[in-house]
Amino acid sequence: MKTLLPSFLRRNSWRWMLPVVLVLSVLGIIVWLPWQLRQLETVERQEQLVADTLWVEQSLQFQLLKNEGSMRLLAGEISSGALPLNNQAALGQRLYELQHRVYEFEQVQWWGADGMRLSTNEQISPWSSDAQRVALEARRTTVARFAPPHPALKSESQMLVEFFLPVYDGTTWLGHLVAIYDLNKLLEVTTPWWFAQENQISLYDQHNTLLAQRAALGSGRGIYTHQREVELPGLNLRLHTNSLRAAPSLAPRFLVGSVIVLALGLIFSLWLLWRHVERRLAAESALRAQMAFRTAMENSLVTGMRARDLDGRVTYVNPAFCQIVGYAEHELIGKLPPMPYWAPEAMQDYQDRFAQVLAGTITPQGFETIFQRADGARVPVLVFESPLLDASGKQTGWMGSILDISERKQIEELNRQQQEKLQTSARLATMGELASILAHELNQPLAAISSYATGALNILQQGHLHDLDLLKEALEKARQQAQRAGQIIRSVHEFVKKREPARHPVGVQSLLDTILPLIELQAQRYFVKVQCRIPGDLPLLHADKTMLEQVLLNLTRNAIEAMREAPPERRILVIQAQLLADALPPQISVAVCDYGHGITPEVAERLFSPFFSTKAEGMGMGLNICRTAIEFHGGALEYLPNPEGGAIFRFSLPLATQTG
């Protein structure tokens, strides 16, 4: 059972049970209350009917008593002789008056002991046997009595009943005063109109024969009924009331109905809410799982992740990022630029990048820069920035992934150093080879000259002057060897001459355009800014482009290396050119200026000497080759101390037109 229910339902079932139980209770009360009210009303109506029926019964009894009283008055007059029985006219008159005073009397009769019958109505029907029996009974007991009811002759629906009042003069029976009641009229008189409006009132005899009925507004509904026995002398009647009222409605039905509908709606909405919560909880747990997955993923990443809002405030960093920069998460979150991991020398670079990021012009390929760890060490990094979008697609900031490329950089640096060493040894090998060839080639003629000269000296010292031919021969041979040595020198010169520059008209700007990317590459490594100040209208030079490129690359490399330790704001490399129109012939001077450590007078003296270098890995041939190359072009290379600190290397070359 436990496994069949979703876990959250098991957990939270009581939370749902409470509102459901409450709603069901309210619903139960709402259904029970009208039903209860209806019950109460039913009882109340029934009680009302009982009371009213009692009232009618009493009214009936009272009416009959009152009528009996009126009859007894007349009987009194007869028995006292005030109304003589022989005065039939007077008696008839009194009977007539009595009948007209009492609405429910159908007929009033005098039935004398002599058998004479005097009636208010001409039609005198013979007494039924029941009536005769009742009359005898009344006479015998001296108590007035009713005879059993019977239908009227003229109409079956009209039920009549006789009331015999025996009249005595002392103990002598004088006769019966008889009143014939019309039971319908009796009911009419004794039932109040308001009661008749709401009820069907009927009179039955003991055999359940309907005697009279009053139903002003139709038959009763049979919902509220009551009956009472009406006991009269000689006659037992049953008064039956049947209310016209319908059972009380579950009033107000509309109200109850709407409350039930609302309650059902409430239960339905609770169910919907429950389902919604169920889905939400499921989504939440899925989200939690995903979050845990993501957190684990972020924590295990070796790539640093950093999120920033649109103002540049750090909003998130992952452990890998903290490890790269050496700062804890709480030291970074909420920080605005400048960041604690920004190296002072790269500050401008960061500002520029940051401006690019904010402007959204950053390239997706990423960019290289350095970060300064908390311990001051520099870490080369590769940064990729991309916009951070929220669920609605609106940008809320920037997400950066940062790769520590120290190892790659180290490998690159090693490669570069190895390459340089190879080049150096290659160059040394070439020079050494050249030197050994020269030495070898010159060694022979020089040794020969030396021996011929020694021979000649010996001849002179020994005074063998007769041997002039021998002396001549020795000197001749020495001359030949000297010529051979000259030949060797010339052939080397020829070899060098073959490598003479291939001169063409070339512009300083186009020269720079070719090598500037290389210079920039070097400069970037040390966060050096390169400034070129080349006037647009500069005339062309007549030079070997490749050699001049080599010269400029050498000079700029020296300048950048000299600024390695310079403060960030002084890391500026300036390349400027200028026309020296007054010189003869007119020349263009090109200067490479730096703000590095500068050159001491001792170093300055030996600057252009071959193999002079103050660098551990330097060969000391750069400046020497540069000077040679410039001199090949008929120009001059010189060093000037920079008045603002640092060094200036300047060379000037004749213009293209002058050299033709």
Q: Quick check: 596 binds ligand ADP (CB under 6 A)?
A: yes
Segment lying near ligand ADP (by CB under 6 A), choices 2-10, 81-89, 165-173, 552-560: 552-560
Helix (H) or strand (E) holding 273: helix 253-300
Helix (H, G, I), strand (E, B) or coil at 585: coil
95 CB contacts (<8 Å, ≥6 apart)?
74, 108, 109, 110, 118, 119, 120
Contact 402, 303 (CB under 8 A): yes
Q: Quick check: 60 binds ligand ADP (CB under 6 A)?
A: no
Q: Quick check: 604 binds ligand ADP (CB under 6 A)?
A: no
Q: Which residue number, 75 or 563, has a Cβ lying nearer to ligand ADP?
A: 563
Distances (CA, A) of 103 to 97, 190, 476: 11, 11, 198
Q: Quick check: 423 binds ligand ADP (CB under 6 A)?
A: no
Segment lying near ligand ADP (by CB under 6 A), choices 308-316, 366-374, 387-395, 617-625: 617-625
| Bond preceding residue 338 cis, omega within 30 of 0 | yes
Applying CB under 6 A, the site for ligand ADP has a residue count of: 22
Helix (H) or strand (E) holding 305: strand 304-309
Handedness of CA 500, 506, 507, 510 (dihedral sign): negative
Q: Quick check: 622 binds ligand ADP (CB under 6 A)?
A: yes
Shortest Å distance, C-beta 612 to ligand ADP: 6
Q: Quick check: 242 binds ligand ADP (CB under 6 A)?
A: no
Q: Which residue number, 179 or 621, has a Cβ lying nearer to ligand ADP?
A: 621
Pairing of strands 159-169, 145-146: antiparallel
Contact 316, 306 (CB under 8 A): yes
Among 343, 623, 637, 656, binds ligand ADP (CB under 6 A): 623
Q: Quick check: 559 binds ligand ADP (CB under 6 A)?
A: yes
Restricted to residues 136-195, the positions that interact with ligand ADP (CB under 6 A) are none
Segment lying near ligand ADP (by CB under 6 A), choices 279-287, 292-300, 435-443, 614-622: 614-622
Among 200, 213, 243, 558, binds ligand ADP (CB under 6 A): 558
Q: Quick check: 607 binds ligand ADP (CB under 6 A)?
A: yes
Q: Quick check: 618 binds ligand ADP (CB under 6 A)?
A: yes
Shortest Å distance, C-beta 591 to ligand ADP: 11
CA distance 56 to 21: 52
* Helix, strand, coil % in the chain, rounded to nearest 5: 50, 20, 25
Q: Quick check: 603 binds ligand ADP (CB under 6 A)?
A: yes
Q: Quick check: 620 binds ligand ADP (CB under 6 A)?
A: yes
628 CB contacts (<8 Å, ≥6 apart)?
none
CA distance 117 to 109: 7
> Smallest Cα–Cα separation from 547: which of 649, 620, 628, 608?
628
Among 230, 325, 575, 599, binds ligand ADP (CB under 6 A): 599
Contact 146, 163 (CB under 8 A): yes
Q: Which residue number, 542 or 571, has a Cβ lying nearer to ligand ADP?
A: 571
Q: Which residue number, 335 or 650, has a Cβ lying nearer to ligand ADP?
A: 650
Name the DSSP letter for residue 248.
Answer: P
Shortest Å distance, C-beta 557 to ligand ADP: 7
**Chain centroid offset of residue 214 CA:** 78
Shortest Å distance, C-beta 558 to ligand ADP: 3
Q: Quick check: 530 binds ligand ADP (CB under 6 A)?
A: no
Q: Look up tokens 């951070």; give the residue.
A: 388
Structure tokens that stand for 147 in this block: 């005879």
Shortest Å distance, C-beta 512 to ligand ADP: 18
In degrees and rounded to multiples of 5, residue 25 shows phi and psi of -65, -45
Shortest Å distance, C-beta 641 to ligand ADP: 10
Q: Quick check: 647 binds ligand ADP (CB under 6 A)?
A: yes
Give me the residues that bind ligand ADP (CB under 6 A), please: 554, 558-559, 562, 594, 596, 598-599, 603, 607, 612-615, 618-624, 647
